[in-house]
Amino acid sequence: MSHPYTPTPRTRVVREAERAVYDREIAYQILDEAFLCHVGFNVNGQPFVIPTSFGRSGDNLYIHGSAASRMLRALDQGIPVCVTVTLLDGLVLARSIFNHSMNYRSVVILGTAILVTNPDEKLEALHLLSEHILPGRWQQSRLPNERELKATSVLRLPIEEFSAKVRQGPVVDDADDYSFPTWAGVIPLTTVPGAPITDERCDPQIPIPAYARQYSRKR
């Protein structure tokens, strides 16, 4: 079911506005397929953009890391944050260099992150992050102990101010360029996992689990 959203002046897409998507369902589909985001923030006039994993629960995005992380310590102070996620689906080769493009799906989220202090929510957020990246792995792994939990910070970013942008489809060339004698088209790109490589110290009697053998980012 579609969930239309009214963008704010900060999240309304201006450049290539026809690619804008203001729908929570579509934005959440993009977030749920991706597992790497880039977190942008500013500390004392110096901008930083840090890649990190994430997970989503309802209208909240969770990120985590070392309690000593500059990023997490800065975000805990209530500074503005910009989180972006991009899925690259193809290279679009036009006849002119100017009209080359890419097929992609992206989401931008603006807001203020909140440190998760409730122990139950913190553990559930870590569970969420693990399952988002590799469903089934949490229940087969040793869970975090008290020392590890203390050394880890989790932040929650409400997904309130956001926009998505999508480019799909074939080459779009200028009318005069369609007669130019060169190949044009789309090179599809997908994330293709390789065969799992068993750790050399793993018990050879332990089989490779299905979630590793059949890993996929499609949701």
Predicted confidence (pLDDT) per residue in 88-111, tens digit: 999 999 999 999 999 999 999 999
Helix (H) or strand (E) segment spanning residue 65: strand 60-66
Within a domain: residue 162? yes
134 in any annotated domain: yes
Q: Domain of 53: which CATH number?
A: 2.30.110.10
Whether the CB-CB separation of 49 and 40 falls below 8 Å is answered with yes
Q: Which tokens is 99 given?
A: 């009209």
Indicate the pTM of the whole model.
0.90
Residue 47 lies in a domain: yes
In a domain, residue 5? The reply is: no
User: How buried is residue 76: exposed, middle or buried, by Cβ count under 10 Å (0-12/13-18/19+)?
Assistant: middle
The whole-chain average pLDDT of the chain stands at 93
Per the structure, the count of domains in the chain is: 1
Segment 29-34 mean pLDDT: 95
Q: Write down the pLDDT at residue 157.
A: 97
Please state, in angstroms and rounded to a whole number, the distance separating the CA atoms of residues 51 and 87: 14
pLDDT score for 67: 83
3 located within any domain: no
Q: For residue 119, tell me if it sits in a domain.
A: yes
Q: What is the 3-state composition of the chain as percent helix, strand, coil, each rounded to the nearest 5?
A: 25, 35, 40
Cα distance from N-terminal residue to C-terminal residue, the chain: 16
Residue 10 lies in a domain: no
Per-residue pLDDT tens digits for 148-204: 999 999 999 999 999 999 999 999 999 999 999 999 999 999 988 999 999 999 999
Structure tokens belonging to residue 132: 């988002």
Q: Are 4 and 25 in contact (CB under 8 A)?
A: no
pLDDT at 1 over 70: no
Q: Residue 12 domain-assigned?
A: no
Place of tokens 């110290």: 201
> Who's near 36: CB < 8 A, 6+ residues apart?
51, 52, 53, 54, 85
**97: buried, middle or exposed (CB in 10 Å: 19+, 13-18, 0-12)?**
exposed
